[in-house]
Amino acid sequence: MGIYDTLNEQQKEAVFCTEGPLLLLAGAGSGKTRVLTHRIAYLIDEGVNPYHIMAITFTNKAAREMRERVDSLVGYGAEHIWVSTFHSTCVRILRRHIDKLGYGNSFTIYDGDDQKSLIKNICKQFKIDTKMMPERSIMREISSAKDEFITPSEYEMKHQHDFKKKKIAEIYKEYQKQLKSNNALDFDDLLFKTVELFQFHPEILDRYQERFRYIMVDEYQDTNTIQFQLISMLARKYRNLCVVGDDDQSIYKFRGANIKNILNFENVFPDAQVIKLEQNYRSTKNILNAANEVIANNAGRKEKKLWTENDEGDLIEFHQYGTEYEEAGQIAEEIDRLAREGYEYKTMAILYRTNAQSRVFEERFMIKNIPYRIVGGTNFYQRKEIKDIICYLKAVDNGMDDLAVRRIINVPRRGIGAATIDKINTYAIEKNISFLDACFQAEQITTLGNAKKKIQGFADMIQDFRDHEQQGSLEDLFHYILERTGYAEGLKAEQTEQAEGRLENINELLNKVVTYEQEAEDPALGGLLEEIALVADIDDLEDSDNKVILMTLHSAKGLEFPYVFICGMEDGIFPSYMTIISENDDDMEEERRLCYVGITRAKKKLYLSAAKRRMMQGRTQFNKVSQFIDEIPEELLKVDQGIHLKEKNVQKDLFSINRKNKFRKPYQTGAFAAPKSQKLTYEVGDQVSHVKFGKGIVKEIVSGGRDYEVTVDFEKSGVKKMFASFAKLKKVEGNQ
């Protein structure tokens, strides 16, 4: 039997189609890597010199795997095939030719910290307040510009009427100038400068076009504009470009991925062949049918339908639990049951929308002694922002933990450097007192000089927190620490995906605080810290690969597991609240693609779950079952008795969005609501401003338990209904 006899008909067609542009729509679990490697083998069998073959992947891991599989198929000569990531490809090209752009060939590549330091210095130079315009939000804006192949001058022209972005244009220009003078590139520059090199030096482009006569690109749905530009330039001469991807698995828009690259491929290459790989080798029929039905609700996609010769399999189980704690507990019970039946822990995965959702599972697994591993993230209590806040709480509790105090003395930054900390430490050792007590005695430390005021300010703040703890609840203390330190505000100002995730984690820690206070007989800060310490001590888990996998849906892409649990299937969680209120239908389609990715990770059995009420930001709120559950035919679901899926959305919505479809925000009720801590700063008739919608007039304010529902008629965007806590409306001063 030849190596191609194991392929199905569509796979063979893709392997044997070697000339001209080819779009290979490879559905989940359809064997695309197998097709790519066999295609390379076939090209060599047909007499193509391995030197002329290029395969581009997104990760080093994928590149290594492809290289190994090609080596085993092809053998001799395979080492001459160019298998690489986008960035590695560009580095290799630039090391040879970047001198043509005025850089030295031994250029440095700056990482995120290097970029941040450079941006910080430029902001200082331009007298820009980084609290108002954080370094990371500037970095994100510059990165987005480079992804779209926009130069500093073009960026300036594009945003000449936007004050903030004009400032960013200045920074961008200076940033590129300083990078060049340092003979340095950032990661985005690697692609940008390679495209620039090809534009200005067609003779170099011609050289690489001659070299790469057959080009294959994996995960094409994840490419951004500049990656598309690079590939189309390289393929222009011989046009033997094969792109492989699945538009239904395009889930990285937040990283700059442009789904239009795959959707518009035939417009760019009108003579392109399109081959669909629809046979799935991974999942059961029931799982695939559910995935097909969900994704069919997206308008912006290529028509395809996965099928399999595998068994029907079990029905998909859907459970609606009372709370997230019950959800985690019951999932842990099911995992325990499967383990007792002989299934290994590593065959099971729990997928969730945000990293913060891992906490309740981690705590439950610790109690039940279930080994677990978090992929693509850190254990909840080991995350930087969580450790920071816990260290503040420790300092308030007794202040004897020197490590904790040293960790937070300059977090967020307040100009206290390592040399100052060393002086305080030396004084503490001499006097045989704690580090914090030494801070309280800053006036006595003669070596501190001008830093005395800063240290005294920090000590006074800790004392203020201690006074606050005596007067109110632990929840109040938590809020006060976040407010007084500016920790949360600093993260909000960054406006990055990473910062948003950190805020979600902090809110999840708040949920822990509130739950502890509600359930403890005699709640105290020391008791809370003790409870956290017990669940945070995960070092005792046996170091084995046989662990339940916990990860976000984004991290799960490309993986598969026999047993998959997708939790938090509620409107406001998944799809996310920000997606639900978005004015852009594309956002909901991206969220649905994420759901499709989650469903298609399951090989044997899929469990979906929701909670009727869930603690969010320290408040209990009622959530409706996710609209994605609605989209799965009932005959594919095994549902808890008493749940009537088709009835769950007939309840009156709290508010509606004026769009083709109506989505709901998870709602709060008085039974679980706490009194509002703040009055609104505006009234009906006032003019207010919103960060996205601009200026408008307040038309109505309705009290809704914990929050206010505010109706605003915006000048440019029309009438919007929103919750005050999310909207962050500001009264326009001078308005009557």
Rg (C-alpha) for the chain, rounded Å, is 28
Mark whether 100 is an active-site residue. no
- Active-site residue, selected from the candidate residues 219, 388, 397, 571: 219
Distance CA 164, CA 159 (A): 9
Phi and psi dihedrals of 275, rounded to 5? -120, 130
Is 240:18 a contact under the CB 8 Å cutoff?
A: yes
Helices and strands, number each (H, E), in the chain: 29, 22
- Angle of helix 225-235 versus helix 202-211 axis, rounded to 10: 70
> Do 126 and 203 touch, CB atoms closer than 8 A?
no
Out of 601, 603, 664, 720, the active site residue is 601
Distance of CA 37 to the CA centre of its chain: 30
- Amino acid residing at 600: T
Which residues are 605's β-sheet partners? 563
Catalytic residue among 174, 186, 218, 334: 218
* Three-state SS sequence of 652-711: CCCCCCCCCCCCCCCECCHHHCCCCCCCCCCCCCCEEEECCCEEEEEEEEEEECCEEEEE
- CA–CA separation, 724 vs 365, rounded Å? 37
Q: Which of 10, 32, 146, 589 is catalytic?
A: 32
Contact 219, 66 (CB under 8 A): no
| CA-based nearest residue to 419, from 442, 445, 444, 448 | 448
- Is 648 annotated as catalytic? no
Which entry of 13, 18, 33, 326 is annotated as an active-site residue?
33
What is the β-pairing status of strands 548-552 and 602-611? unpaired
Q: Which DSSP letter does residue 28 get?
A: T
Judged by phi (left if over 0) then psi (alpha if -120 to 50, else beta), residue 612 lies in: alpha
Is residue 373 flagged as an active site residue?
Answer: no
Residue 443, judged by CB atoms within 10 A of its CB (0-12, 13-18, 19+), counts as exposed
85 catalytic per annotation? no
Instruction: Judge whether 592 and 297 are in contact, CB under 8 Å.
Output: yes
Give the bridge partners for 277, in sequence order: 26
Question: Which tokens in the block code for residue 665?
Answer: 């925000």
Catalytic site includes residue 146? no
| 534 Rama sector, left if φ>0, alpha if ψ -120 to 50, beta otherwise | alpha
Give the distance from CA 444 to its chain's centroid.
47
Q: Which helix (H) or strand (E) holds 373?
A: strand 372-374
Report which residue type is found at 525.
L
Using alpha carbons only, give the angle 5, 279, 639 rounded to the nearest 5 degrees. Answer: 145
Q: What are the DSSP E strand ranges found in 140-208?
A: 184-186
Active-site residue flag, 713:
no
CB distance 30 to 281 below 8 Å: yes
Whether residue 125 contacts residue 99, with contact meaning beta carbons closer than 8 Å, is answered with no
For residue 349, what are the contacts with CB-CB under 8 A and spacing of at least 6?
548, 549, 550, 551, 556, 559, 561, 563, 564, 565, 601
167-172 contact pairs (CB < 8 A, 24+):
167/126, 167/128, 167/133, 168/133, 168/138, 168/141, 168/142, 170/126, 171/119, 171/122, 171/123, 171/126, 171/128, 171/138, 171/142, 172/141, 172/142, 172/145
**Residues belonging to the active site:** 32-33, 218-219, 249, 601
